[in-house]
Amino acid sequence: MRIINIVGARPNFMKVAPLHRAMAADPGFEPVLVHTGQHYDEMLSAVFFKELELPPPDIFLGVGSDTHARQTAAVMQAVEPVFLARRPDLVLVVGDVNSTLACALVASKLHIPVAHVEAGLRSFDRRMPEEINRIVTDAVSDLLFVSEESGVANLQREGIPPEKIHLVGNLMIDSLEAHRAKAARSPILDTVGVQPKGYGVVTLHRPSNVDGRDALQRTLQALAAIQAELPIVFPIHPRTRGALAQFGLEDTLARMPNLRGIEPLGYLDFLQLVQHAAAVLTDSGGIQEETTYLGVPCITLRDTTERPATVTLGTNVLAPLDPAVLAGHLRRILRGQWKQGRIPPLWDGKAAARITAVLRSHAIPPRA
């Protein structure tokens, strides 16, 4: 079975890596790796291929950054001839980035079956472009691989036939377990000058938190309160760094004595940094899952989450960008009063094996 695996942005790499390896080791599969180039710099792309032991992509489209519409259109234009030339039996997309949506739409219009990994996740906030990508990708997919039980319920409510839906666990955890021992050898804690459980980690890149002067100033006020409670390591996403420069707020961040802003980290360094943190504050989706699995307290700086198992079962809470609220949360963490959490079902490092088993048993005929 020839399967084209699509990657485009940093969150995709951790999900595709264990699955691509499992397919490459199985003579029943002929995996083809296509990188759209949505994230294309060293720290957001190339280093992840190296550290996750992904082979170089068979095809690199080099789309790069742009507006949502232009980037989605560029991926669609670039990938269509690839699908026509390679004639895959299935196109597999992961997550909720623009490349996910674009490739699912092109495959669907060419009557090529589509599998979506991480299907069914819903924040119920359509102001998030990722939410639109999730809904549309699921609607055109033939196999929907779900990471947590809420996703099954969401898809059923949207009228997806039950035979298309498969609860398989979380590929992020497959990657985490496969590389945890290697991450333990990272010197990152010494590099940034922190001790285990003596610091917090912050990541921020969502438009609602960093796009626009007012949003960014609110974020910086929250960061000032956070770093007054606990030393903070802040790997600064290129989007966030660009906004700081655009609005002349770099000095505001630099004047925070207990916050260390650093360049984005590779997968292994970041995993080591997170698993030894006292707390993580983020607006990322995947980090909510990693902290729940690792048992690290997580404060998600959003009103909603598409990963509710991290809140109902795990170590995550949702919080506004309110300095008093965030300081209160950190004090509870430092006093040891945070919830313990537990690992959601099937988050056991075996999601790739479950997905390939489903693919072997569900030979999908081409659409008429």
Phi–psi pair at 78, nearest 5 degrees: -75, -35
User: How far is CA 359 from each of CA 28, 127, 157, 167, 279, rounded to the nearest angstrom?
Assistant: 10, 34, 24, 13, 38
H runs (alpha helix) in 211-322: 213-229, 238-246, 250-254, 267-275, 286-294, 309-312
CB 38 within 8 A of CB 10: no
DSSP 148: S
Are the C-beta atoms of residues 346 and 174 closer than 8 Å to each other?
no
Is 111 one of the annotated active-site residues of the chain? Answer: no
124-127 LR contacts (CB < 8 Å, sep 24+): 124/304, 125/303, 125/304, 127/208
Contacts of 312 (CB under 8 A, 6+ apart): none
User: Which member of 35, 116, 179, 205 is catalytic?
Assistant: 205
CB atoms within 10 A of CB 304: 14
Which residues carry out catalysis? Answer: 205
